[in-house]
Amino acid sequence: MKTELSPDLKAKILEAALSAPSATRHEQQRRAFWYLSGALAVSALVFMFAGGVRVSGRSPLLVLGTALGSGALASAVVSVVLSRGRSMIGRSRVTLVSVALTAPVALLAWKLSYSARFAGALEAWPARPGMRCLALTLAIGALPLFALLMRWKKTDPAHPRAQGLAMGAAVGLSAAALVDLWCPVAHVSHLLLGHVLPIVLLASLGCWLGARLLRSS
Amino acid sequence: MLEIPWEPLAVTSRPKPVAEPRAAAPSQRAPGKWAVTDETRSEARADAAMDRYAGGQESAFSDLYDLIAPRLHSYLLLKTRDESATEDILQQTFVNIHEARGRFLRGARVMPWAVSIARRLFIDSKRRHKRECPLSDEHAETVAKLVAADAAPDLQLASQRTARQIAEALERLPPRQREAFELVRCMGLSQAQAAEVLGTSALAVKLRIHRASDALRRSLSAVLNARQL
């Protein structure tokens, strides 16, 4: 179905577009590259400043296994959330929300199930309730999340809140995978506070920012 | 040339005027492997124009406008029932496309994205104004013009009456069904594209259209029977 349009309307629209210059794809990609590189560099610095990779008496196999598993989970979630195929609209709300809900649960399940194979790995550390892991994960994840949201700014995905939520969960899971290399504790209460809660917080932040940044109006 | 929005309803000689979704006119058929329709070609040209515009070719914006504005305008006119509101939203849609052009993915489809922006702007504007739009005579007249533009003069009066009834029947559909029906049957989007715009699955869209067609068939059976006589 098509209707006739007045030539004045076209002139008005072209004039409105010309009056506000916008970045081309090349400029936008260059900008996004610097945003993301800067954010990842700061995150890496924060991680290194906190102590970097710490085995702390753990079996190297435990460190490697948990990190590889968490990394694989994070990669899968990131690829689902960020790949759009040939669509500018993004994935369906069900997919995005499912990914955001599954990510922290999957991380917890993986950490507990893999650590259970190693004697003493699940023991409680009363001196380490998880606050430091919480702070470190948030510090590592906040800037990359913001950079990603800026990359998608004003792209009008179908579900900006769900998109932001899933992006936050993906970034949180990636940060938690990195923190796995640093934290020797796998007690369930520590994992909930220090590793799962920051994913939930980053996802919530992503949801809030998504509604504000991803929409064009 | 204007196309008839509800082709099966406008053709009087068919024994079953409201056909199954698969029996739609070629221009309304979902782009498939074997069917390269005018709309498919037009969409491919629009995608290419948007790609050029994202790449920095300023003149491509005018081509993009020519290729997608008429369909967006029709869609918005059906939604707003008001020419000036339609033009405002259309203008804002193009401004938004212009602002986000650098983020347009290489090889992405522009039409579902544009419809999605227009739809969201319409929803925002409706929320802002918080007003209901009862079916007006003007709207019925707009629909009538769209339906009956190509009809012979002696059929125009009957077509306009039918159009009014179609508009009323559409009005009575549940919003989800109406939206899916409008996007696929009136806008000519494929079911997959409509699913993208509505953020649901193609199967859900197919189901909504099927239900909408059933409901429309029921509502309009009296009119259609009269026209077949």
What tokens appear for A107 in the block?
């991380």
The neighbour count for residue A63, using CB atoms within 10 Å, is 18
Closest Cα partner for B19 from B220, B223, B160, B214?
Answer: B214
- CA A94 to chain B, closest CA, distance in angstroms equals 8
pLDDT reported for residue B132: 47
What residues of chain B lie within 8 A of the CB of A154, using their CB? 96, 99-100, 103
What residues of chain B lie within 8 A of the CB of A7, using their CB? none
pLDDT confidence tier of residue B149, bands split at 50, 70 and 90: low
Long-range contacts of B58-65 (CB under 8 A, 24+ apart): B58/A18, B61/A14, B61/A17, B61/B98, B62/A10, B62/A14, B64/B97, B64/B110, B65/A10, B65/A13, B65/A14, B65/B94
pLDDT confidence tier of residue B107, bands split at 50, 70 and 90: confident
Q: Has this prediction a pTM greater than 0.80? A: no
Does residue A136 surpass a pLDDT of 80? yes
Q: What is the mean pLDDT of residues A103-130?
A: 84
What is the average pLDDT score of chain A? 87
pLDDT reported for residue A42: 93
What tokens appear for B26 in the block?
């070629």
Taking CA atoms, A141 is separated from A133, A198, A211, B103, B195, in Å, by 12, 9, 19, 23, 33
Does residue B99 surpass a pLDDT of 60? yes
- CA B188 to chain A, closest CA, distance in angstroms equals 7
Nearest chain A Cα to B6, which residue? Answer: A1
Q: What gap in Å lies between CA B167 and CA A36, rounded to an integer?
A: 50
Closest Cα partner for B213 from B195, B198, B205?
Answer: B205
What residues of chain A lie within 8 A of the CB of B117, using their CB? 156, 216
Does residue B198 surpass a pLDDT of 70? yes
What tokens appear for A45 in the block?
């610095």
Test the B interface: residue of A3, A22, A217 with most B CBs within 10 Å = A3
CA A31 to chain centre: 19
Does residue B23 surpass a pLDDT of 70? no
The per-residue pLDDT for range B56-94, each reduced to its tens digit, is 888 899 999 999 998 899 888 888 878 888 888 999 899
Cβ neighbours of residue A89 under 8 Å, at least 6 residues apart?
Answer: A156, A157, A158, B112, B113, B116, B196, B197, B199
